Structure 1
Amino acid sequence: MLRSLAEGSRPPVAGYDGDVRLGIFLLTTRFPGQDDAAAVSRTVEAAVAAERAGFDDVWLAEHHFMSYGVVPSATLMAGHLLAVTSRIHVGTAVSVLSTQHPVALAEQAALLSLLSGGRFHLGVGRGGPWRDLEVFGTGVPRYEHGFAESLDLLLTSLRDDRVSWEGEHFRFREVPIVPRALVPPSVTVACTSPATERLAAERGLPMLLGMHVDAGEKAAAVARHGDPALPHVSTHVAQVADTREQAVTTLMTEMPRWLAPGLDGYVAVDDRPRPSPDPVGYTRRMCGIHPVGSPDDCVESLLTTVEKTGITHLILLVEAAGSREAALENIARLGADVLPRLRAAS
């Protein structure tokens, strides 16, 4: 039953016929010297610029209590971006299920789907053992053991007119679910472990694979999932310049400046150990496994991912150079010099 929901909830995408689909990914990081208003304004500008540059979609991160990302509700931000654009699709990457009620999230997703004519896409994830769990009262047990139940309740609420529930983490009598989307928004699951990959596969849902793994690791995840025909999504850091040396130098100089204070915002809710973040090492790895370089370098890197993984939906973090101007220039140049060539070659 859940598989039929996943299959039936993929709305047709204007201009997409099965070839490579390219989007942008926005963290809404507060860069050094900026305030939150500047970070949010930059995200809106980036979404409008991505639509103008010909990208297919925009994906929004969700975080609490940190400068790494200052958007606490990806669905709320998605609603605004859907209102200021007309063609581009907008998705959440991700809405964190461990800190909100699945029925409430399903209501928001259905409303956004109705308001946007089907341009909204719901990406969900488990999140982490962070202090959000304490602040919002959902607790560590639901984070550690409740993701499958939360996901099932979300999918049921997107599918059925009326829902009741009797589970470990949720119990309530039957209620009508309103509003109802004409077609339920598609759902993608962020996967960082084989266990989550299996959970997504059992429900017939595509995976959202993150920036921290390379093409080989993503290919292995697709193989473990077992359904390469689903519209899985691959996330990348992307920085285009005249040469690879210029692009790498830009990221190695700028990315650690905002990563260091941002990553410090990940504070565990309990005493579990957490490795010390290494912004410089992380940036170096991103430059090594992602489309960072000349237009030729970027096209080659992205096509390699498509060929190795079979994933044809790629989303690009375009803000890594650490300023509004650099992000907008990166979007424009990726749109002009990389996107058309990638589509032509696929």
Structure 2
Amino acid sequence: MPLGAFLLAPRFPGQTDRDALDRACAALDAAERAGLDEAWIAEHHFMPYGVCPDAAAFAAYALGRTRRIAVGTAVSVLSTTHPVALAERALLLDNVSGGRFHLGVGRGGPWVDLEVFGTGLERYRSGFPDALDLLLRALTGPTVTGSARFPFREVPVVPAPASLPRPPVAVAATSKDTVALAAARGLPLLLGMHVDDDDKLAMVAHYRAAGGPADAPHVSAVVAHVADSRAEAVAQVMDTAPGWLCAGLAAHVPVDGGRGPSRDPYAYARLLCDLHPVGDLDYCAARLSRSGIGRVIAMVEATGDPGHTQRTVAALGVLRRSGVLPPAASDLGKLA
């Protein structure tokens, strides 16, 4: 099972944006050292939930900072950017990284971002399929022509893709409609950390029923936090995550003046602890081995503490080397 890190760069209470970004960069370095397969970077605007506003820009830095690990975006939001501009950035990173870049895209949310960037609520509500198709055409080349929603004359695709026929693309999906859309285009799913393994497997089953390839390399995002015991790990997450979630959820401002997310931050933090590998190493190994999804990326910043993040990344490295089986006692000692 390929294992990777999922970097949100969340700003916890009492931290600065630089603190969050420094922690994410250190986690990236640790993932490379630990032998993890991938690092995927989130994108958010105007909020402490995650302080990286451009996942592709961070990915460019990450690819230059590392030599081996694959780097992806989870996700680049298609509703607030032009698909051809995003394709050009992806093709550039595909070329200069030797094929280590993976592009994850999503619809995003009905937030004030749509107002700021001038794309509007209608683009969010109905424009995702057209934007995705234009992105795929631009990623494949050798030329690309616009559409009714994105009208422009035929232009050459430069640089041409280094990974043929194009760089890898995955689609974030939270609804059956988006699952079917990805299946029709043969694109793997990016499945979020707010749902459990059974719900994710049900989405994969729907994907296959909608005609998606059986061997699609779907990606499952989880929360991972390793401590000496399950109780200690949960206590550490519950001590800090609700404060981050309270500020982060409140910062989601709807573009149409409606209500934002209504989740209780304490209940949500506890849900994440119960759904995911939050515990001692054996507990995390058992949870990961039951995933059923071929690739797992773990959000490793669940407490906002750089030391906790480093230990969790090191633990994931142990699990990666052991095939997500209980590791040897000699490996356990290295995590102290």
TM-score for the superposition, normalised by structure 1: 0.90
Partner of 1:74: 55
Deviation at 1:273, TM superposition (A): 3.3
| Contact kept in structure 1, 2:98 and 2:162, CA below 8 Å | no
Q: Give the corresponding residue for 2:157.
A: 177
Indicate the RMSD between aligned Cα atoms, in angstroms: 1.2
**One-letter amino acid of the counterpart of residue 174, structure 1:** E
> How big is the shift at 1:139?
0.2
4+ aligned runs moved over 4 Å, structure 1: none
Report the secondary structure of 2:323's partner residue.
helix
CA distance in 1, matches of 2:259, 2:17: 30
Aligned partner of 1:118 among 92, 99, 103 = 99
Pick aligned residue for 1:339 from 276, 299, 320: 320
Matched, 1:27 2:8: yes
Deviations 1:286-313 (A, max 9, x none): 111111111111111111112xxxx210
Q: Deviations over 1:213-267 (max 9, x none)?
A: 1011011100100133100000100011111111111111111121111111111
Distance in structure 1 (CA, Å) of the matches to 2:136 and 2:307: 40
Aligned equivalents of 1:276, 1:154: Cα separation in 2: 33
- Partners in 1 of 2:261 and 2:9 — Cα distance? 24
**In the alignment, which of 145, 154, 161 is matched to residue 126 of structure 2?**
145
In structure 2, stretches of 5+ residues that fail to align are 327-336
**Mapping of residues 182-197 of structure 1, within 5 Å:** 182-183=162-163, 184-197=166-179
The Cα offsets for residues 145-186 of structure 1, whole Å up to 9 and x where unpaired, read as 00000000000000111111222x210111111111221210
For these two proteins, the number of residue pairs brought into alignment is: 320
Counting only pairs closer than 5 Å after superposition, residues 94-113 of structure 1 correspond to structure 2 as 94-113=75-94
**Could you list the per-position Cα deviations for residues 92-151 of structure 1 after superposition, in whole angstroms to 9, with x for gaps in the alignment?**
000000000000000000000111100000000000000000000000000000000000
Superposed, 1:182-331 pairs within 5 Å as 182-183=162-163, 184-226=166-208, 227-306=213-292, 311-331=293-313
Q: In the alignment, is the contact (CA less than 8 A) between 2:145 and 2:153 conserved in 1?
A: yes
Paired with 2:238 and 2:179, the residues of 1 have a C-alpha distance of 32
Q: After TM superposition, give the deviation of residue 275 of structure 1 in Å.
A: 4.3
Structure 2 counterparts to residues 29-108 of structure 1, below 5 A:
29-108=10-89
On the 8 A contact 1:299/1:341 being kept in 2, the answer is no
Aligned CA distance change for structure 1 residues 275 and 83 (closer, same or farther; 3 Å): closer
Mapped partners of 1:55, 1:270: distance in 2: 41
Q: Please state how far the C-alpha of 1:344 moved relative to its aligned partner.
A: 5.6
Range with greater deviation from structure 2 (281-290 or 176-185):
176-185
User: Distance between the aligned counterparts of 2:306 and 2:324, measured in 1?
Assistant: 27
- Could you tell me which amino acid in structure 2 is paired with residue 246 of structure 1? E
When normalised by structure 2's length, the TM-score is 0.93
Match of 1:287, SS state, is helix
Q: Do the aligned partners of 1:68 and 1:262 also contact (CA within 8 Å) in 2?
A: yes
| Preserved contact between residue 131 and residue 267 of structure 1 (Cα < 8 Å) | yes
Q: Distance in 2 between matches of 1:242 and 1:271?
A: 45
Q: Is the 8 A contact 1:244 1:294 kept in 2?
A: yes
Contact 1:299–1:342 under 8 Å retained in 2: no
Partner Cα separation in structure 1 for residue 305 and residue 233 of structure 2: 14
| Higher mean C-alpha displacement, 174-183 vs 50-59 | 174-183
Match of 2:140 in 1: 159
Which string of whole-angstrom CA distances, capped at 9 and with x for unpartnered residues, describes residues 61-103 of structure 1? 0010001111111000000010010000000000000000000
For 2:157 and 2:291, the matched residues in 1 are separated by: 40
Whole-angstrom CA distance in 1 between matches of 2:71 and 2:252: 26
Whole-angstrom distance in 1 between the partners of 2:28 and 2:3: 13
